[in-house]
Each structure stands twice: as structure tokens, then as C-alpha cells.
């Protein structure tokens, strides 16, 4: 990229703004007072990020430090493009760069647009969790150990006091779900069932729904075991694609359990 690539990207981003979109985004995102919204559609930003995938990392950092919402989003999308084509140590460096800056991933759209596309390829670099046994005297850097280390990162994020770290942990598992690996998501959903934030409950329900799209029986089995423990909104999101009778059964079970507990 040329020396002026960062400023060129910023200029193009502002030129892509739609005044009518800004008002919609303000209503949907409810940004903090110091956030500036331009009004750029996400698909437009994705196309921009593909064209600027070669942006220097220090320029991506400048974008992530911006108080212009779409500049942070564009920086995350550029980072995702770089992760997609990187391999090995280079990919890990990009993931570490992201994890060190999650304080700048500070709204649900930024999380949902980055978590599974930045962390996802790295989480998938290796066998599925539990798919390989490691001998007691085996090497400490086996593929199974590396996979466990990756899942520990999700556990650390899920234990964070920062709301958006916890949502990153849940949404990042979408990449695993799409690869047919459901257990990390189920474990996180169960762990975060008592989270105080509705945005975590919604993300958990969304991921459960995604599991159900690929393996309905796994979703049904999980709900049969845990529906009375899960937040109502998680259950409602999770069952949206089930047949009406199954959907009604889980909603009734959840509501009935709450009613019995109150009475």
C-alpha cells in the first residue's frame, strides 16, 4: 500500500456515508456520546476492507483508536481479511493484536462483525477439541494442546468483566459451529447462563440457533437438559427455527418453571 493508504481509506469511507443511514444506526446501536457515526452500510465497508487488506498494522491500530465508529469497524474488517490469508505465526500475531485491543471493540455490531472472522480461522487451526488424546509423556506442543490453548482464550474472554469480551467469546464460536464443532459453544452458553447482560443472553441464543440449523437433535438434547436454567431470551432465540410444537414446548417449559419457582 502507498504511504497515504490510511488517509485514502478514511476519505473513501466518509464518501460512502448515507445521511439516512446515520439516524438508523444511532437508533439501533445507541452509541456513547463520544462516538461519531457516519452512516455507512456494513456490506460497503466489507468491500472497502477487501481493497485495503494490505494496510499496515500500525494504520489498522490508528483506525481502531478512532472515535469514528465506521473507522473502527473498517479496521476490524481489514484485520479479518489479513487473518483470512495469513498462516502460522503471522496469523497468531494478528490474533494477539486483536485480543490486545478488545477495549476498542465496544458495541455489538463490532463484536459480531469481527469475533468469528478474526478469531475463527485461528480457532480452527488444528483438530477439534477432544479429537486427539495426548500421551502423558507426549510433547507439550501437540495439536491437541494447541487446540486446548485456543479454547482457553475463549474461557478467559468469557470470564472478563468487559461485556464485549464475553460476547466476543460466544460469537467467536460461530466459526466452530460452521465446522461442526458444537461443544465449545454449548459449554460457554451454559457457563454464561447467569450473565447479567441481555446482550450475552441474545448472543447465546443466536449461537444455539446456529447449532440447531446444522444439527437440530444436538440443540434439542441441550435444551431438554438445560432449558429451565437458561434465560428466557436465550431460549426464545434458540428455538426460532424449530417446528412450532417443539418451539412451544420449550417456551412453555421455561415459563412454567419460572412460574413454579416464583409461586
pLDDT, tens digit (0-9, with 9 covering 90-100), for 145-156: 566 788 999 999
Cell numbers standing for residue 111: 463484536
* pTM for this predicted structure: 0.89
Q: How far apart are CA 140 and CA 35, in angstroms?
A: 45
pLDDT, residue 145, reads: 54
**Under 8 Å between Cβ of 239 and 228:** no
* Alpha-carbon radius of gyration of the chain: 20
pLDDT, tens digit (0-9, with 9 covering 90-100), for 35-75: 999 999 999 999 999 999 999 999 999 999 999 999 999 99
**Under 8 Å between Cβ of 91 and 84:** no
pLDDT, residue 137, reads: 40
**Under 8 Å between Cβ of 109 and 73:** yes
pLDDT, residue 140, reads: 46
pLDDT, residue 128, reads: 40
Q: How far apart are CA 207 and CA 209, in angstroms?
A: 5
Residue numbers in the chain where pLDDT is lower than 70: 1-3, 126-147, 257-263
Length of the chain: 263
pLDDT, residue 257, reads: 61
pLDDT, residue 148, reads: 74
pLDDT, residue 162, reads: 98
| Residue reference for cell 443472553 | 201
- Span 143-263 CATH architecture: Alpha Horseshoe (1.25)
pLDDT, residue 259, reads: 47
Amino acid at each position: 500500500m502507498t504511504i497515504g493508504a490510511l488517509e485514502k481509506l478514511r476519505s473513501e469511507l466518509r464518501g460512502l456515508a448515507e445521511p439516512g443511514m446515520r439516524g438508523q444506526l444511532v437508533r439501533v446501536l445507541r452509541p456513547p456520546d463520544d462516538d461519531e457515526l457516519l452512516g455507512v452500510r456494513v456490506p460497503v465497508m466489507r468491500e472497502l476492507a477487501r481493497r485495503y487488506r494490505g494496510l499496515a498494522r500500525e494504520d489498522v491500530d490508528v483506525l481502531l483508536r478512532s472515535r469514528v465508529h465506521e473507522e473502527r469497524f473498517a479496521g476490524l474488517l481489514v484485520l479479518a481479511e489479513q487473518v483470512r490469508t495469513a498462516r502460522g505465526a503471522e496469523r497468531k500475531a494478528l490474533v494477539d493484536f486483536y485480543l490486545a485491543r478488545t477495549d476498542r471493540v465496544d458495541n455489538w455490531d463490532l463484536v459480531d462483525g469481527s469475533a468469528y472472522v478474526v478469531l475463527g480461522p485461528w480457532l480452527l487451526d488444528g483438530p477439534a477439541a477432544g479429537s486427539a488424546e495426548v500421551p502423558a509423556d507426549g510433547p507439550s506442543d501437540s495439536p491437541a494442546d494447541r487446540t486446548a490453548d485456543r479454547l482457553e482464550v475463549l474461557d478467559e474472554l468469557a470470564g472478563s468483566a468487559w461485556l464485549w469480551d464475553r460476547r466476543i467469546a460466544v460469537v467467536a464460536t460461530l466459526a466452530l459451529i460452521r465446522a461442526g464443532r458444537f461443544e465449545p459453544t454449548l459449554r460457554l452458553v451454559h457457563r454464561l447462563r447467569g450473565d447479567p447482560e441481555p446482550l450475552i443472553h441474545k448472543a447465546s441464543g443466536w449461537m444455539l440457533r446456529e447449532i440447531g440449523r446444522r444439527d437440530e437433535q444436538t440443540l434439542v438434547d441441550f435444551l431438554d437438559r438445560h432449558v429451565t436454567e437458561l434465560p428466557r431470551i436465550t431460549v426464545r432465540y434458540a428455538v426460532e427455527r424449530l417446528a412450532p410444537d417443539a418451539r412451544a414446548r420449550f417456551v412453555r417449559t421455561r415459563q412454567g418453571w419460572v412460574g413454579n419457582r416464583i409461586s
